[in-house]
Chain A
């Protein structure tokens, strides 16, 4: 069993507290442009959808990286960007089918993606409406359930020594 971020768009009010918290952890300032969780606002549909990396098992970002700057964190299964190795080529941002790897607006233009805050995601804590839950992957929601199971399977494999 592993833990994942579960996002429930119906509960989101579009307040951006998650973006503030994410940037705070990364930079020590409140800077939503640096956040790797983003809230998309669909005004006409009255829908607000936070989205961030699902930690998907295929991890095309990781496969696309030419300098092996994306790796699996063995402690909690997150795919993390190794800042010192990243050369800012942006291939990962193109490879990700979900658009959840971002170019950070910094001098070196490094890639940025969710690293699950080392196992204590700040966005989930900051959300005032419970739209972002930090919970067990299995059975945490229908749409994420399938992802969760896959992630878990890969995670177990990784733990068994088969790290890609």
Chain B
């Protein structure tokens, strides 16, 4: 087999056994790889009603046919499981070097089931698979765990994906971090891993990835690379990283500030791409095979590293790390009203090292700050004032959350559960239990329909509308055509994810450019139509899974604040999200009935009638 390895490694953590299985070739063709194939495994094997933190839940790491190849940005793998934050199926993506290493070891997918009786880590060295004692690493941070495991194994080139203290402590939005700074961030995949007593997966692979049509494949690789090299969007990404986006969202009143109180942050300039680059960036960094290199390696010089202190980590525990990128800069910055770049950088590093999703972390803290500012929680309940704009609160509460200390124990449950506990559910700004990322749908209507029915809750990576809503394709405050656009875009991004290529290749190329790469690698004569269909099939399968898990059309909604309370100033003044205009069109475009259930005709068209 070419492109794909066609193999799944199944590890049962309860009894410590492992088995290499053939992945049905039909599934690879139907779903392209990665996310869709993993979805199919969950569909076949996992009761959608299980408790996400029970041993019955399954955790899948999935690469695509182009992961580990020189196609630009062929670094990605997807973590698929039932999310601890959402209770829905989740698909959480990460780059770095870990995914390609799994591929080089010979596997498309790694499926973990059960729960280890004591903390373990999994060591995969090609065919050699071993569960090793991880009691000495339990409690350690991400960087200490990775360094410790690499030195214990002593095999050069070993890559580690692990959880930090947050995952161990079952923080609902704990992430899985690989290569110290790259994370499968959202929906609490790290908590699922922690619930399995699995501290880390270390991989070393020495095998090669063959391709079916070397000439055609390399031509497609170079065509994509040339396009990317020349694209202005890609150049901006290399120079300024994703954080440049804050200029765009702020200009349109779509940069949610202080838990979505307003749509513009007055200190946005402190957090933008230029500020990071000019003040704190050492260099940019690439993931495996990446020809963009949007990663920001930052340093806090001198005393700035100690400006905001944490308890557990020693003073000056770290002066260099990675981030922030836009989503983190927004969540930890604008959403909490913090305009101090140094506080945001330190907060971002803490999230990476403790294993927390900075989006949900920042958004949950912002919700808590709203509770505090409104007097719903008082000084007796918190160790320091949770005022909007407080860098000290931002930095310290991240640590408190990871270790569930004091009020951190409330934050660790996410803003939906926290809001319900304090009888103010309106502070939760998200969908299906997952906090929104950095786009206010009152500034960009399209994000409203991108968020509401999204399979994994609030998410910007399935259909990113600010691009087409700011370049004249669609007016930002209109609703016409957006539901249709979002549905198609979700199908496309799903196929894009399935290949194992980073979505940021979209800064200079299209999904169509990945089709000849995939065809060349696998030898299957894929067309763009096949790709979009595979994306649609995957999307519908995830939808069916969610419906079986108990989610309904009532979950395809947005918080009242977005639907009823307009901004009082700025470019989005007076606008609310007109979801009621878009959602029916979305269902119709998808071929779903009024309750958001895929129709029999649609399922037959997608070859899903038998599932």
Task: State which residues 47-90 of A face B: CB under 8 Å.
Answer: 47-48
Distance from B240 Cβ to chain A, minimum over Cβ atoms (Å):
15
Interface size on B, residues (CB 8 A): 33
Residues of B close to A126: CB separation below 8 A:
70
Q: Are B208 and A34 in contact (CB under 8 A)?
A: yes
Contact pick for B70, options A14, A21, A33, CB 8 Å: A21
* A5 interfacial by beta-carbon distance below 8 Å: no
* A32 interfacial by beta-carbon distance below 8 Å: yes
Residues of A close to B550: CB separation below 8 A:
none
* A31 interfacial by beta-carbon distance below 8 Å: yes
Q: Are B209 and A30 in contact (CB under 8 A)?
A: yes
Q: Are B288 and A16 in contact (CB under 8 A)?
A: yes
Q: Smallest CB-CB separation from A30: which chain B residue? A: B209
* B603 interfacial by beta-carbon distance below 8 Å: no
* A142 interfacial by beta-carbon distance below 8 Å: no
Q: Smallest CB-CB separation from B210: which chain A residue? A: A29
Interface size on A, residues (CB 8 A): 26
Residues of A close to B104: CB separation below 8 A:
31-33
A36 to B507, CA, bound (A): 32
A33 to B180, CA, bound (A): 21
A34 to B283, CA, bound (A): 28
Segment at the interface with A among B55-63, B291-299, B325-333, B359-367: B291-299
Distance from B95 Cβ to chain A, minimum over Cβ atoms (Å):
11
A29 to B106, CA, bound (A): 13
Q: Are A46 and B297 in contact (CB under 8 A)?
A: yes
Known: A13-B293, A14-B285, A20-B70. A128 touches B210 (CB 8 A): no
Q: Are A14 and B286 in contact (CB under 8 A)?
A: yes
Task: State which residues 246-295 of B face A: CB under 8 Å.
Answer: 282-291, 293, 295
* B207 interfacial by beta-carbon distance below 8 Å: yes
Residues of A close to B284: CB separation below 8 A:
13
* B69 interfacial by beta-carbon distance below 8 Å: yes
Contact pick for B180, options A32, A43, A47, CB 8 Å: A43
Q: Smallest CB-CB separation from B521: which chain A residue? A: A30
Distance from B162 Cβ to chain A, minimum over Cβ atoms (Å):
15
Q: Are A16 and B208 in contact (CB under 8 A)?
A: no
Q: Smallest CB-CB separation from B299: which chain A residue? A: A46
Interface residues, chain B, with chain A CB atoms under 8 Å away = 68-70, 97, 100, 104, 157, 180, 205-211, 214, 225, 229, 282-291, 293, 295, 297, 299, 320
Interface residues, chain A, with chain B CB atoms under 8 Å away = 13-17, 20-21, 23-24, 27-34, 43-44, 46-48, 105, 126, 128-129
User: Can you add 6 more A-B contacts, CB < 8 Å, to A15-B288, A34-B208?
Assistant: A13-B285, A14-B285, A16-B97, A20-B70, A29-B209, A46-B297
